[in-house]
Amino acid sequence: MKQLLVVFLGGGAGSLLRYAFSKTFNGYFSHFFLGTFLANILGCLLIGFILGMSAKGNVLTENQTLLLATGFCGGFTTFSSFAFEKHSLLTNGDILQFLLYTLSSIIIGICAIALGLWASKLL
């Protein structure tokens, strides 16, 4: 139960910060979402650092890692988890799986958004 709570708290904080980034930075360019882009890249940097520190052992507890990586970075951006997973595939030499998973995630994700938007117009 404690693990669920730390993920919940971290996710809430990350979501609030992502919202602040969007409100602050997304208006600078008409066709480029700077706030979202910055949140995604910063989230990638943070999750890499957090998971790297966690892998060292005796630096972060399991709950601290859940709070920061799963909760905060997950709430701040799911892109950080996506990028970390792709890095893992590349590091393991799984080039074909990297390409298939990356392309299918992007293409199917965009199609799912289009389908959801279409379905919402039916209601």
The predicted structure's pLDDT at residue 66: 96
pTM of the complete model: 0.78
- The verdict on whether residue 77 carries a ligand-binding annotation is yes
pLDDT digits (tens, 9 = 90+) for 70-116: 999 999 997 888 898 899 999 999 999 999 999 999 999 899 989 98
pLDDT digits (tens, 9 = 90+) for 51-82: 999 988 888 999 999 999 999 999 999 788 88
- The verdict on whether residue 61 carries a ligand-binding annotation is no
pLDDT digits (tens, 9 = 90+) for 26-47: 888 877 888 988 999 999 999 9
Yes or no: say if 35 and 21 are a contact pair by the CB < 8 Å rule: yes
- Best CA proximity match to 38, nearest among 24, 50, 53, 52: 24
